[in-house]
Amino acid sequence: MPKLIIIGGSLATGKTSLARFLEEQTGIKRLSMDDLKETFFDLGGYRDRSWSKRIGGLAWPTFKELVDMHLERGDDVIAEATFLWPDDHEWIQALKDRHDADVRQIWMTADPKVTRDRFIARANSQERHPGHCDALEHVLEEFEKRFFHRRFDPMKIVGKTKVVDTTRFGDVDHDDVLRFID
């Protein structure tokens, strides 16, 4: 039974950091929606926020197909994305059913004021691929309305869920997360 480890949550909650840690500690293949988008940006270029969203629209089906392919081979896989769309749980359920997968959801959350501050710090650094076009002058107003005023609930899935609050990164018990996916 392959394991599907879902790492989801809102912006700047630490999804990528945790997913990389888990990949390093377990050897389980990590698939990241942002990494895939960045590959597409490198191939197709980037221009503005609208272009970035179109690249995301191209990357999402590829991301889903790659997760499906790994499970089809019987591989465990870590799938990292926001998973904030209303029908994401349906896709996860279909994977679980099709591959008899053991689904473990790690839902990243943090105080919205903290995620806003992290997002701004990231936007003002050179850490983020410019193809995301999420520089503050382009997206802050949009993201204030969509992300930085509330916490998001985990997907309702058939499988185990662990909520990890990263308001203070130092409080995250990485060993506990490792036990959860084991």
- Output the average pLDDT for the chain: 93
User: For residue 144, what pLDDT band results from cuts at 50, 70 and 90?
Assistant: confident
CB atoms within 10 A of CB 156: 10
Higher pLDDT, 27 or 138: 27
Contact between 8 and 84 under an 8 Å Cβ cutoff? The reply is yes
User: Which CATH number fits the domain that encloses residue 29?
Assistant: 3.40.50.300
Run of H or E residues at 102: strand 102-109
Tell me the C-alpha distance between 123 and 178, whole Å.
Answer: 30
Q: Which two tokens stand for residue 109?
A: 């959350």
Span 9-50, pLDDT tens digits: 999 999 999 999 999 999 999 999 999 999 999 999 888 888
- Most confident by average pLDDT, 128-132, 135-139, 155-159: 155-159
Contact between 159 and 103 under an 8 Å Cβ cutoff? The reply is yes
Higher pLDDT, 137 or 56: 56
Which residue do the tokens 């990164």 mark? 169
* Rg of the chain, C-alpha, whole Å: 16
Q: Which two tokens stand for residue 134?
A: 């999420």
Higher pLDDT, 158 or 22: 22
Range of the domain at 132: 3-181
Bridge partner residues of 116 (DSSP): none
Number of domains in the chain: 1
Q: Is the pLDDT of residue 58 over 80?
A: yes
